[in-house]
Structure 1
Amino acid sequence: MSLLRMRACPASRVRRPELVELVFPALNSAWAMEVMRGVVDSGLDVVLSSATGRGTRWADDVVRAGRAGVLLVTCPITAAEERVLARAGLPLVHIDPVGPDPLSVGATNRAGAVTAVKHLLALGHRRIAVVGGPRDVGCSRARVAGYRFALGRAGLPVEPALVRHADFTREGGRREAEGLLRLPDRPTAIFAANDEQAVGVVEAARAAGLSVPDDLSVVGFDDLPAATRTTPPLTTVRQPLAAMGTRAGRMLADLIAGHRPAPNRVELPTTLVVRSSTAPPNRW
């Protein structure tokens, strides 16, 4: 488990010496950097760690290290680990939680997906596919649920062949898009569960000799800085990643100080950002 210590600015930091464990699935993404920036802005001093290779004694190690609390970012936690932290009196807050209804901060994933699909429907698309994230991740399930809801409200069936799942990587998006674009009646638009996947979808379209957006419209989710640098610039759902980190950090600081935050579950709003990767379908 890799570790890296980060401290808040002296002017804004919480006036206590404790360090907080901030755990990501992996540290090599712009998504993680945005969340991390928000947590540090909350005033907490944090030690970064990666869940990759996290051992079964992780919770015991956190307790022995004398951490003041834990922030888990899109990471699962076992009941046994939760008991270890609870016995030691260590508060725990989730950011973009994997499981149901923990003490957490997230975004309006389902509503964001509904907005994305409604945008494609308004352009005239009717064969809209989705590349969701891993099935066991809460935000991925919510985004696919939003896709299903938007199609249902439009009176369109959800075709199983148009619903795919992959990890949140460019490679995953490209792989699933390649399969979608080989269908006899291929989709005219693909909604990807994050921007990395969406970039992979664009790459798959180009490899198949298709133009984005003339032959295929693509929508992502996150609005990372790279979304403006893709060709074409990516239409995507902006989630307030830094604000999520800041809100979760303040929630954890309240818990450390002995104050129970209300509500337990916070969802910050998402917004659709329309750029050049979406257009009306080309009636080939």
Structure 2
Amino acid sequence: MARTASGERVTLAQVSEQAGVSLSTISKVLNGRPDVSPATRARVEALLAEHGYLRRKASSTTATGLIELVFHELEAAWSMEIIRGVEDVASAHGLSVVLTESGSRHAPAPDWIEGVLRRRPVGVVLVFSDLPTEYRETLRSRAIPFVIIDPAGDPSPEVPSVGSANWSGGLMATRHLIELGHTRIAAITGTDDMMCSHARIDGFRSAMTSAGLEIRPDWIRFGDFHTSGGYEHGMSLLAGDDRPTAIFAGSDLQALGVMEAVRELGLRVPDDLSLVGYDDIPLAKWVSPRLTTVRQPLRRMAEEATRLVIRMTEAPLESVPRMDLATNLVVRESTARLSAA
């Protein structure tokens, strides 16, 4: 017998009767066993979620002492900041971290949910745009708290998340270029289906419009946040005589791709092109010239998300938190005042 979220008592026998399955089947679903048909599992999960079924506090002792950190891909330069932030907070609370790679940038793959139920972590930190409703309900029915680290999306208001100020980041990057005298400015952002891509471009547009500068549609490019995308768009934008004098890249990796295009075209940063990145990954201060960039506080985002998950294991939250951390501009050598020539 257990208590629902509203405080009423509900027995697994009652759930079993309503689902039309045995108590052993209910137990298998609760323990993440694979030998249950998808239709039966879905029916049982729906009933557990409907009753707001929560394990008794004592059952939390069966958890593994792990925080599970889930990525859709492990980009070494970017993901390491997230990993370090999660590990620092987890270690301070006597917890270990397990890394999982699954799914697309929008959500983990369908088989992930069964795996996490078998692993029984204390909580889950996910680096995704959102989490499907059925995943949320399953995790909540097992009293497994979760938080999204959201540098690249716009999660549902029902999902606890930690993000950053993408619009203001795009604004300050572009204003910096304008203050250096640049008027012919292009932008390369992330994929078209990610909210942060649009937010950073919206900040770019606001800065250009406020300065009364022309925004050329063909100079706004949607890439993939990777080096290859920055290189391809950089080559396209810079190959002819009618080229921008400055580019705002929506990630440091894209900025590095632009730098390679500049070198191959026989140009120089910042003499021929001023360049601003986004993220401030460690590599940004080691490339030549050192990259001017918008610092996204990735490690602190990870720390705050992990603290939030741990807090949720101790007591239910009164409201669903959304935390947006500030970004700031880090000026280095890849930007310079526009030459009068």
TM range (shorter): 0.7 to 0.9
Larger C-alpha radius of gyration, 1 or 2? 2
Amino acid corresponding to residue 59 of structure 1 in structure 2:
I
Match for residue 64 of structure 1 among 101, 118, 130: 118
Q: Secondary structure at the match of 1:275?
A: coil
Residues 64 and 119 in structure 2, CA contact (< 8 A), matched pair in contact too = no
Give the superposition deviation at 1:129: 0.7
Separation of aligned partners in 1, 2:256 and 2:190: 14
Give the superposition deviation at 1:18: 2.6
Aligned twin of 1:35: 82
Task: In structure 2, list runs of 5 or more residues that go unmatched.
Answer: 1-62
Amino acid corresponding to residue 36 of structure 1 in structure 2:
I
Match for residue 171 of structure 1 among 193, 214, 228: 228
Give the superposition deviation at 1:184: 4.9
Match for residue 93 of structure 1 among 136, 147, 153: 147
Q: Secondary structure at the match of 1:57?
A: helix
| Larger proportion of helix | 2
Q: Is 1:81 aligned with 2:81?
A: no
Distance change >3 Å, CA 138–CA 42, structure 1 → 2 = farther
Length, aligned pairs only: 269
Residues 251 and 261 in structure 1, CA contact (< 8 A), matched pair in contact too = no
Match runs of 1:98-113 below 5 Å: 98-100=153-155, 101=157, 102-113=159-170
Q: Is 1:23 aligned with 2:70?
A: yes
Separation of aligned partners in 1, 2:128 and 2:109: 17
Amino acid corresponding to residue 189 of structure 1 in structure 2:
A
Separation of aligned partners in 1, 2:235 and 2:339: 19
Aligned twin of 1:246: 303
Match runs of 1:1-284 below 5 Å: 17-43=64-90, 44-52=95-103, 55-96=109-150, 98-100=153-155, 101=157, 102-260=159-317, 264-282=321-339
Q: Percent identity?
A: 43
The TM-score with structure 2 as length reference comes to 0.74
Q: Which moved more, 1:107-116 or 1:75-84?
A: 75-84
Task: In structure 1, list runs of 5 or more residues that go unmatched.
Answer: 1-15
Separation of aligned partners in 2, 1:184 and 1:105: 43
Give the superposition deviation at 1:26: 1.7
What CA RMSD, in Å, does the superposition of the two structures yield over aligned residues? 2.0
Residues 72 and 128 in structure 2, CA contact (< 8 A), matched pair in contact too = yes
- Write out per-residue CA displacement over residues 26-47 of structure 1, whole angstroms, 9 at most, x where no aligned residue: 2242211111111111124221
The TM-score with structure 1 as length reference comes to 0.88
